[in-house]
Amino acid sequence: MLKLVVRGIRANLGRLVLTLISVVLGVAFVSGSFVLADSLRSIFDQISEDAFAGVDAQVRAVEPELNSSGENLVRFDESIIDEISALPEVDYAEGGIFAFEQTYSLLDDGEVNRPLGPPVFTSSWGGPSPVSSFTVVEGVAPIGQQVALDSAQANAGGFAVGDQVTMSLPTGEPEQFELSAIIDFGDGGTGGAYFNLFDLDTTQRILDSGDVVDSVVVNGGGTDTDVLLAAIEPLLPADVEVVSGETVIGESQEDFGSVIGIFGNILLSFAFVVLFVSIFIIYNTFAILVGQRTKQLGLLRSIGASGGQIRFMVLIEALIIGIFASIVGLFGGIGVAWLLKLLFSAGGNSFPDGPLEIRLRTVIVVVAVGLFVTLISAIIPAFRASRVSPLEAVRDGGRKERSVSFRLVAGAVVLIPGLVLLALGMFGDVDGTAARLAAIGIGAALTFIGVSMMSALFAGRAAGMIGGPVEATRGINGRLARDNASRNPQRTAATATALMIGLALITGVAVLASSLLATFDDLLEDALTADLFVYEANQGLDFSSGVVEQLDALPSTDSVAGFARVEMLVDGDVEAVTGFDTATGTSVINAGILDGTAELSQNGIAVFDETADERGWGLGTTVPVEFEDGFVTDLTVEAIYDDRSIVENSFIVDRRLSRQHVQIDAVGFVGITIADGVDAEVARAEVETITDNFAQLTVQDNTEFQEGVEGQIGQIQIVINGLLVLCLVVAFFGIINTMALSVLERTREIGLLRAVGMTRNQLKSTIRWEAVIVSIFGALLGILMGLLLGWAAVVAIPDSFISKVGIPWLSLVIYLIVGGIIGVIAAYFPAQRASKLNVLDAISHS
Amino acid sequence: MTVTEEAVRWAARADRASKIYGSGDTEVHALREVSVGFEAGRFTAIMGPSGSGKSTLMHCMAGLDRLTSGSAFIGGTDLGTLNDKQLTKMRREQVGFIFQSFNLVPTLNVRENVTLPSDLGDGKIDMGWVDEVIQTVGLGDRISHRPNELSGGQQQRVAVARALATRPEIVFGDEPTGNLDSKTSAEILEFMRRAVKDLGQTIVMVTHDPVTASYSDRVLFLADGQIVKQMDDPTPDSVLDTIKSLGD
Ligand SMILES: Nc1ncnc2c1ncn2[C@@H]1O[C@H](COP(=O)(O)OP(=O)(O)OP(=O)(O)O)[C@@H](O)[C@H]1O
Ligand SMILES: [Mg+2]
């Protein structure tokens, strides 16, 4: 038995290798996802350990219930540093303060020197010490009007130690600093982020923070950690805590780890999509191989092999392929990990270097997945093989097609639950976007399988229709291509399925993207009435609220309104609230005020209509609130609004109130209307005289804002498509495989055609067009399915995010063409092989 | 022979044609310097024991294979001077070939199979002639049937019709009736003879059957890669006698 299997594999080696590639690609993607995530985790674990190597204890504020300043830590009085330093248990203590996106080095032409994507950090630094996270490349610690920059930044700016570097500051007035040192974070692995380091006093001055720090790091010089912690503990004011260095490292590793985990899971889900696609390819290959061996199998049956033995034979064949593919895929994962790194680096996020590692878990999962995928794909062909009757050894071309009704029923059994799940995700009473999307995901997978099964029913006719124009323009070559594409609908359907899934996902993403844009267009039209916006475009971070006053003072501006995100307790619950200049805001946005006045008093609050309904609030209701500084008051509901697309939150208070009770008085977005009679260009130039002082700020009008969003969406789409392209690659190999098998099957026919006068080029053209027709069929199905899925997702995603379906017509046409091109390229090798066939050999081929 | 050299027009001809398969120990001389001409407007049968080189001769003369040495001509053209593309064009326009089986493209119907060679070329074909050929082989009512809807005999008739449809210089048939019963064979052979007599076609066919050979104007006997005997106006008995005499 085994001998037969080995013979079978050897005889069909070429075809099996192509099948192998499909499995290997999927498996390698799974392996690569694990390898990359594991490697990154190890690297970042090491970075965390290095960065906090000398830190035995850290003093920091207890994470408060309310923190409006997002990424910034809560700060406390710096006097604690001296007290800690004075302890006999403490060898060295350093207090520090840290901020995101506040200072930037400027290039000679005044442009901001910053990485695309990763953030720029501002931090105080006391120089090399046991607790320092930074290593000096060159120079000495900055004092006073001096700065230390990381080496990547210094390189990008062309700065050398001793140079005067102009730094953009949150005060709005750039200053000159002498570059005292070039440093690196840990060993230089910063993921592309920049660091600007000043001494503590200077940092406090720049950040306008007062004499506060957000952490004190302590080296005990050998003191037992518990003793050290116990000694520091009594000195601490309320809401400040001390933790061990180990805790700090653990937390840092966990922070990195959770990001890497999400990243790894995203990659894995793409990998599983690719595997899903390859199942169809493997299934198709086995089905064709079994079909072609019907006679041989019939012979085996007639000399006494049982159906079970035949089935076993096919499955063993699959098992051997699965094992082989898993091993190749496992190591291929290293290559994939490397490619993925490249893909993401191209997007601006550089990964730190480090060895790629294959963990035991990866090996087990990858081999299991590879085997599972191959065996599951071979099961149906194996059963079909076992049902081959001994008679079929003598019957010529005795292929038994499944009856139409069987396919209809089987397809429906899978398709209907798929559609039901899709509908459930779209319209059903399912809680949460995640659950809805999960329903859509599983629904989509079932729909794909169902459509694939049923598509065999119409693949022949569809291929005939698609082939119509081909025949009309290509004559007999087109005619033969068309006939060949439609003569085996089952095979055409299975081959097209892989392409269908790949393009359906890509189309779905494109529909989502264009719906997002369409939603955004609407939003700009209705909700945002400002002429200009000012915001930090790179990370969407807050900036000094002083900008609002400065802009308001300009003669060319009419209304200027700032938006701040504030965390508050509203009626006992932690809520995100928009602090908004409501007096000027009415001309900047339209929040869809249903009731009351858009212009709030300092004791007023506006509530989103659904929230108001839920809580049973109306105009005049008194709502108790508490701010992050502990201030407690009662606010009165003064307005009900129904459009939170710009406001984002379900509550609005006036910023005159909220700014008094937050740690850092900042805004995230400023809207401006231009004064009557002032030219837009003039106004903009005036606005820029202010914003130019804040290097991180961007001024945009409606169109630019829209283009910016388009660009961002486009970039995300590129990364997603970069991952989905692998589906197309698998589909591509699937088409090569099917075409190669079909050509082999039709060897005699090809010989005959050549004998009666078909040239090699005509033959190639025939094969090429056949592949194109099959691919276009797959592409069309894919695009239709993609539209369905995209629409489903748009419906499932909350309206506040996407409310309108947009159809990317141009992209759809491009995808169709891409489908055709895939067919052309995939046909190349089979066509080449067919055209090289010797006419007489081909004719006498059995 | 009563005809003088000058008066004869050769539809196809071989000049010291040799074909060697393999090399060294496994070398097989399938044709040994065969010189033969097929007169235009005549029906020639080729006979000989299995392995004597009949198929090889046909293939080389029809431009399906190349000679090891010597030359083969269709009309006035030396096939050895043609590249693959020109040879293909030659097969398409000047040669008709009928195989023993599997002559038809399964996805095309009767008429499409018949016009296939011309469709592969410029598509210019005398449709009146095509219809006549199809009618004559008795498939007028089957014109849009696919091969799998036809009997073996009907399929061979389509093949004959296809071979004649382009009015080629010469038609080769390698045991064209070898798979058919005697009644069906007779019908097809009768038709082939009419094509030669009435329409002026040139046909060369390989056969093992003396009765089949008797439909031809002349029989060539091949043995071990050489022409060992020729015979005009054969009858089944005379052919059988010749075979017996050669066997001795
Ligand atoms: N492709 C090939 N490779 C090697 N030898 C070949 C090949 N084709 C034919 N031969 C050999 O050449 C010789 C002539 O073969 P050919 O097929 O012409 O014989 P034939 O007269 O047609 O026989 P049959 O009546 O059995 O069809 C035989 O010995 C055969 O074995
Ligand atoms: Mg032969």
Q: What is the DSSP string of A797-830?
A: S-TTT--S----HHHHHHHHHHHHHHHHHHHHHH
* pLDDT value for A197: 94
Within 8 A by CB and 6+ apart from A374, the residues are A23, A282, A318, A319, A321, A322, A325
Cβ contact (<8 Å) for A759 and B89? yes
User: Is the minimum distance from the CB of B51 to ligand 1 under 6 angstroms?
Assistant: yes
Render pLDDT for A673-711 as a digit per residue (tens, 0 to 9). 998 888 888 999 999 888 887 877 889 888 888 788 788
Interface A–B counts its CB contacts (< 8 A) at 69
Q: And the tokens for A241?
A: 């805590």
**Ligand 1 centroid, distance to B55 Cα (angstroms):** 7
Residues of B in contact with A485 (CB under 8 A): none
Is B9's pLDDT higher than 90? Answer: no
How far is Cα of residue B7 from the mean position of the Cα atoms in its chain? Answer: 23
Minimum Cα–Cα distance from A485: chain B residue: B107
CB crowding B211-248: b at 16 or more within 10 Å, else e: bbbbbbbbbbbbbebbbeeebeebeeebbeebbeeeee
User: Is the minimum distance from the CB of B102 to ligand 1 under 6 angstroms?
Assistant: no
* Facing B97 at nearest CB: one of A476, A480, A756: A756
Residue nearest to atom 28 of ligand 1 (CA): B51
Cβ contact (<8 Å) for A475 and B119? yes
Render pLDDT for A733-769 as a digit per residue (tens, 0 to 9). 888 888 888 888 888 899 999 998 899 999 999 999 9
* pLDDT value for B43: 94
Quickly count: other Cβ atoms within 10 Å of residue A422's Cβ.
Answer: 26
Q: And the tokens for A801?
A: 């995010």
Cβ contact (<8 Å) for B116 and A476? yes
Query: Measured from the CA of B31, which atom of ligand 1 is nearest?
Result: 14
Within 8 A by CB and 6+ apart from A773, the residues are A463, A466, A467, A470, A481, A482, A485, A486, A823
Residue type, A747: T
Q: Are the C-beta atoms of residues A81 and A97 closer than 8 Å to each other? A: no
* Facing B88 at nearest CB: one of A476, A480, A757: A757
Tell me which residue has tokens 């195989």: B99
Quickly count: other Cβ atoms within 10 Å of residue A340's Cβ.
Answer: 23
Helices (H), A347-403: 360-386
Residues of A in contact with B88 (CB under 8 A): 754, 757-760
Residues of A in contact with B84 (CB under 8 A): 759-760
CA nearest to A666, candidates A90, A198, A100, A56: A100
User: Is the minimum distance from the CB of B207 to ligand 1 under 6 angstroms?
Assistant: no
Render pLDDT for A237-270 as a digit per residue (tens, 0 to 9). 888 888 888 898 898 888 888 888 888 888 888 8
Query: Measured from the CA of B54, which atom of ligand 1 is nearest?
Result: 21
How far is Cα of residue A288 from the mean position of the Cα atoms in its chain? Answer: 37
Render pLDDT for B174-199 as a digit per residue (tens, 0 to 9). 998 888 888 888 988 998 898 899 88
Is B21's pLDDT higher than 50? Answer: yes
The residue extents of the domains of chain A are 1-49+262-400, 63-238, 445-521+704-846, 542-695
Most trustworthy range by pLDDT among A96-110, A290-304, A419-433: A96-110
Please state which of the ranges A100-104, A656-660, A798-802 shows the lowest mean pLDDT: A798-802
Picking from A479, A747, A756 by the largest number of B CB atoms within 10 A of its own CB, the best residue to mutate is A756
Is B3's pLDDT higher than 50? Answer: no
> What's the average model confidence in pLDDT over A194-211?
91
Q: And the tokens for A734?
A: 């699937």
To test the pocket of ligand 1, the residue of B18, B54, B100 to mutate (highest count of ligand atoms within 8 Å of its CB) is: B54
Render pLDDT for B64-90 as a digit per residue (tens, 0 to 9). 899 999 999 998 899 999 998 899 999
Is A651's pLDDT higher than 60? Answer: yes
User: Is the minimum distance from the CB of B30 to ligand 1 under 6 angstroms?
Assistant: yes
Q: And the tokens for A739?
A: 């075409």
Three-class SS state of A101? coil
Averaged pLDDT of chain A? 85
* pLDDT value for A398: 45
Minimum Cα–Cα distance from A752: chain B residue: B103
**Ligand 1 centroid, distance to B86 Cα (angstroms):** 26
Q: What percent of chain A has pLDDT over 90?
A: 18
User: Is the minimum distance from the CB of B156 to ligand 1 under 6 angstroms?
Assistant: no
Q: And the tokens for A574?
A: 């932690």
Minimum Cα–Cα distance from A843: chain B residue: B102
Cβ contact (<8 Å) for A759 and B88? yes
Pairing of strands A146-150, A175-185: parallel
Three-class SS state of B86? helix
Residue nearest to atom 17 of ligand 1 (CA): B55
> What's the average model confidence in pLDDT over A808-818?
92
Bridge partners, A196 (sequence order):
A122, A149
Residue A84 C-beta-side C-alpha neighbours within 13 Å: 29
Please give the backbone phi and psi of residue A68, each rounded to the nearest 5 degrees, phi first: -80, -15
Query: Measured from the CA of B175, which atom of ligand 1 is nearest?
Result: 27
* Facing B120 at nearest CB: one of A757, A839, A843: A757
The residue extents of the domains of chain B are 3-247
Report the C-alpha gap between A39 and A356 in whole angstroms.
Answer: 5
Three-class SS state of A739? helix
Report the C-alpha gap between A5 and B99 in whole angstroms.
Answer: 36
DSSP code of residue A528:
B
Interface of chain A toward chain B, CB-CB under 8 angstroms: 475-476, 479-480, 483-484, 487, 748-749, 752-762, 839-840, 843
Report the C-alpha gap between A704 and A722 in whole angstroms.
Answer: 26
Classify the phi-psi angles of A678: left when phi > 0, otherwise alpha if psi is within -120 to 50, otherwise beta.
Answer: beta
Bridge partners, A124 (sequence order):
A198
> Which of the ligands is closest to the CA of residue B51?
1
Residue nearest to atom 27 of ligand 1 (CA): B50
* Residue B206 Cα, gap to closest chain A Cα (Å): 16
Residue A507 — very low, low, confident or very high, per pLDDT cuts 50/70/90? very high
**Ligand 2 centroid, distance to A433 Cα (angstroms):** 73
CA nearest to A117, candidates A352, A342, A347: A347
Residue nearest to atom 29 of ligand 1 (CA): B51
Is B2's pLDDT higher than 50? Answer: no
Report the C-alpha gap between A147 and A104 in whole angstroms.
Answer: 11
Taking the CA atoms of residue B79, residue B84, residue B90 and residue B95 in that order, the dihedral angle to the nearest 10 degrees is 80
Please state which of the ranges A634-643, A723-732, B3-12, B145-154 shows the lowest mean pLDDT: B3-12
Quickly count: other Cβ atoms within 10 Å of residue A756's Cβ.
Answer: 25
Using H for helix, E for strand and C for coil, what is the string for B151-175? CHHHHHHHHHHHHHHCCCCEEEEEC
> What's the average model confidence in pLDDT over A503-518?
89
Instruction: Spell out the CATH class of B3-247.
Output: alpha beta
> Which of the ligands is closest to the CA of residue B34?
1
Q: Compute the radius of gyration of chain B from its Cα atoms.
A: 18
Q: How many helices (H) and strands (E) does chain A have?
A: 23, 27
* Residue A476 Cα, gap to closest chain B Cα (Å): 6
CA nearest to A347, candidates A720, A721, A719: A719
Q: Alpha carbon of A360 to those of A43, A357, A368: distances in Å?
A: 18, 10, 12
